[in-house]
Amino acid sequence: MASKEAKISLKAPKGTRDWSGADLLLRDHVFETISNIFKLHGGTPLDTPVFELKEILAGKYGEEARLIYNLEDQGGELCALRYDLTVPFARWLAMNNVQQIKRYQIAKVYRRDQPAIARGRMREFYQCDFDIAGAYDPIIPDAEILRVIVETFDALGLDITIKTNHRRILDGIFSVAGVPAEKIRPISSAVDKLDKEPWEAVKKEMVEQKGLPEEVADKIGVFVLNRGTIDEMIEFIKADPNLSANEEIKAGLADMDLLSTYSKELGTFDKVSFDLSLARGLDYYTGLIFEVIQKPANTKDQDGTRYPEKSSKNADASAVGSIAAGGRYDNLVGMYGKKQIPCVGISFGVDRIFTILKARRGEKEGRSRQVDVYVMAFGGKEFNGLLLERMSVARQLWEAGIRAEFSAKVKPRLPQQFKAAEEVPLGVILGQDELAEGKVRLKVLGTGKGGKEEEKDEKDQGQLVSRENLVEEVKKLLQTHTLPIR
């Protein structure tokens, strides 16, 4: 049995990873930054199970449904890992008949996609979602979501562009171009690939795989390859008599008009690009849709271009792809047979954001551990290790809320103790003679480097402090000697 077990592959499953140390602290910093913005806007947290009944997920994801992880049928209900946080939120709204809420959720989701770890695309990854549910007036919640996006990336120090489009405008364009109703969603999926593939490849997919007449595909191309500010694009669409006569497009334009007004008031207008090629793969969107990309540092709004051209040579610049995405989904909650609740939301791709921030941080590694005091002991030939005394001092510190450690050896060697005190700002040093007088030595471990340098510095034995005053003196020193986390 032992030999068999020695052969197992010692790894996390494909497309997943462990988080620890400085990486985990950086990721938690991202979570905290984002959730603070969510709270600024009145968000309340929600936590749902990691798997849902399969029927809850069915029919919500279009072509992407093939990426859903199913649980094995072991008797009982058929379940699948959640694919996003939106469908579970809609299920929760319908189940509890919640009429309005701003909810946020930070949790892992699962997609059986081909992983691309360097670009932050994993099979298990975190999403941070903020959604506004409720029957409100048009575009007011949508505009607040765009504001949340801008505030979040400002707080993270990332320069971004929000690509937006409107499902009703897009569907209207398909309809004007001559796409039959039943092909609108598949064609929309093809158009959505325009951020990764050139027009020729997308056109080929439409014609060869999805059976669209070539002239219809060409008409689509005339429209969807355009983008600009919200106002520029409203003008562009209105200038085309075929488009502006379409009822769906009219309805979408009314929304975009409001978005222009509101986003100017909320200070987000300049970050938004109205991009007719944005389609979003998911079936459930019904109105405004958006996707956030990082603005490459060398792009300076030349020629009115707000982000890199979609040519292959720019693939590196935005290699991680979209770092947040969302939209309005007014019919999803109603699909569960309950009262319709209109919703709009944004999902932040935290792993991709992490990848960017980590690359920016570069080689600087943060501390992975936060301990205030290391309790150590040393003595001469008769040294018995003073274990019980070290326990007693550690207990005293813990009771005062001070983070303290000591060596779990009966007779630890001095170098071991100094090594273990790496990154710890203060040392309490016990000696038999001092203890007999009820005293200990309290020493600032200086640079926090620990190890040999500290050991050399051994002759500076710190200040002599009585056990009764120890907590007070430690707290005093910690005010000036706590090391930064990052």
Near a second copy in 117-156, by CB under 8 A = 124, 132, 134, 136-137, 140-141, 143-144, 147, 151
The contacts of residue 289 (CB under 8 Å, 6+ apart) are 164, 165, 166, 167, 278, 279, 280, 326, 327, 328
In this structure, the dihedral spanned by the alpha carbons of residues 235, 240, 246 and 251, taken in order and rounded to 10 degrees, is 0
Residues numbered 320 to 359 that lie near a second copy (CB under 8 A) are: 335-338
Q: Does 194 belong to an annotated binding site?
A: no
84 is known to lie in a ligand binding site: yes
Q: Taking the complex as a whole, how short is the minimal distance between the CB of residue 422 and a second copy, in angstroms?
A: 12
Binding a second copy (rule: CB under 8 A), the pick from 32, 42, 99, 456 is 42
| Rg of the chain, C-alpha, whole Å | 29
Residue 21, interface with a second copy (CB under 8 A)?
yes
Stretch that binds a second copy, among 39-47, 226-234, 279-287, 427-435 (CB under 8 A): 39-47
Nearer Cβ to a second copy (73/159): 73
Q: Is 432 in the site for a second copy (CB under 8 A)?
A: no
Residue 191 beta carbon to a second copy: minimum distance, rounded to whole angstroms: 24
416 binds a second copy (CB under 8 A): no
Distance between CA atoms of residues 245 and 176, nearest Å: 9
Residue in 119, 196, 360, 403 binding a second copy, rule: CB under 8 A: 403
Helix (H, G, I), strand (E, B) or coil at 121: strand
How big is the site for a second copy, counted in residues (CB under 8 A)?
96
Structure tokens at 164: 């937006």
CA dihedral 40, 87, 336, 132 (to 10 degrees): 20
C-alpha to C-alpha distance for 84 and 101, rounded to whole angstroms? 19
Name which position in 32, 70, 365, 466 contacts a second copy (CB under 8 A). Answer: 70
CB closer to a second copy out of 337 and 362: 337
Q: Is residue 208 within the footprint of a second copy (CB under 8 A)?
A: no
Going 140 to 145 to 146 to 150, the CA torsion angle's sign is positive
The residues, ordered by sequence, that sit 6+ positions from 383 with a Cβ below 8 Å of its Cβ are 377, 411, 432
**Which amino acid is present at 233?**
M
Is 111 annotated as a binding-site member? yes
- Give min distance, CB of 445 to a second copy, in A: 15
119 is in an annotated binding site: no
Residues 250-279 that bind a second copy (CB under 8 A): 261-262, 265-267
Report, in Å, the least distance between residue 116 CB and a second copy. Answer: 16
Furthest C-alpha separation in the chain: 98
> Nearer to a second copy by C-beta: 155 or 158?
155
The whole-angstrom separation of Cα 120 and Cα 116 is: 6
Measured from the CB atom, the residue of 58 and 359 that comes closer to a second copy is: 58
> Which three-class secondary structure state does DSSP give residue 343?
strand
Residues 83-122 that bind a second copy (CB under 8 A): 91-92, 94-95, 102-103, 108, 110, 112
Alpha-carbon distance values, 287 to 33, 139, 227, 326, 413 (Å): 28, 9, 18, 11, 68
69 assigned ligand-binding residue: no
From candidates 40, 222, 245, 315, binder to a second copy by CB under 8 A: 40
From 271, 313, 278, 277, select the one nearest 294 (Cα to Cα).
Answer: 271
Burial class (CB in 10 A: 0-12, 13-18, 19+), 135: exposed
Could you say whether residue 409 binds a second copy (CB under 8 A)? yes
User: Which is nearer to a second copy, 18 or 382 (by Cβ)?
Assistant: 18
Segment 233-252, which members bind a second copy (CB under 8 A)? none
Closest contact distance (angstroms) between CB of 128 and a second copy is 15
Q: Which residues are annotated as a binding site for L-histidine?
A: 84-86, 111, 127, 131, 280, 284-285
